[in-house]
Amino acid sequence: MRKKRDIAEVLTDIRIARNRLRIMRSKIEGRLVQRVPSYSTVLTKEYLKEAEQLKRISEFLDTLDVILELIEIKLETIIYIGYIVNDAPAVIEALREIRKNGEFLGPELSALIDDIYSGFYSSINVPNEIKVNAPEDAKKILDEAKVIAKYRSTRKNIDINT
C-alpha cells in the first residue's frame, strides 16, 4: 500500500514528468530531422516508417503533456483555494470581533452580521485547528482593517493584503 502523499509532492512529480516529456520530444524531433537516404529505396522506406512511428509517438507525448498541464493547473488552483479557505475563518472571526464592539450597529445590521457569521460556518466545513487559530488572527485582521479604514477616510490608496 502506498503512503499518503502531499499534494505538493504530486505537483512536483507532474512537473518532473513534463520535463522528461520535453526531453523525449526533443530526441524524437532530432531523429525526424535526419536526412532520408536517397541511394536505397529499402532504407528510404524504413526511414519513412520510422518517421511515421515517431510522429505518432510525438503526438501521443503532446497529448499526455496537455493532460499533465491541465492537472498541474487544477492542483495549483486547489492549493491556492486551500490558502483562501485557511484564511477566511480569521476574517469571519474579525467580523464577529467587530460585532462585539459594535454599539453603533443597530439591530438590523447586527442581525445581518450574525447571519453572515453563522451562514459562513454552516456552508463551509472548516477544520478545528483552523477554527482555534482564527480568533488570534482575527485581531490582527481587525487592526489592519482599522488602518485601511483610516487611510480610506483620508482618500489615500493602499494595497490590501489578501
Confidence category of residue 39, pLDDT binned at 50, 70, 90: low
Q: Do the domain assignments include residue 158?
A: no
| Same-domain status, 97 and 33 | no
| Same-domain status, 71 and 28 | yes
User: Vertex 121, ends 115 and 126: CA angle to 5°?
Assistant: 165
What's 45's domain CATH number? 1.10.287
Q: What is the pTM (predicted TM-score) of this model?
A: 0.62
List C-alpha distances in Å: 150 to 33, 95, 104, 139: 66, 17, 17, 17
The parent domain of residue 29 ranges over 7-82
Q: What is the pLDDT of residues 104-129, one digit of tens each?
A: 777 888 888 888 988 888 887 777 66
Contact call for residues 32 and 44 (beta carbons, < 8 A): no
Residue 148: other Cβ atoms inside 10 A:
14
Please tell me the total count of domains within the chain.
2
Q: Do the domain assignments include residue 2?
A: no
Which of 82, 109, 124 is the C-terminal boundary of a domain? 82
Q: Which helix (H) or strand (E) holds 24?
A: helix 7-33
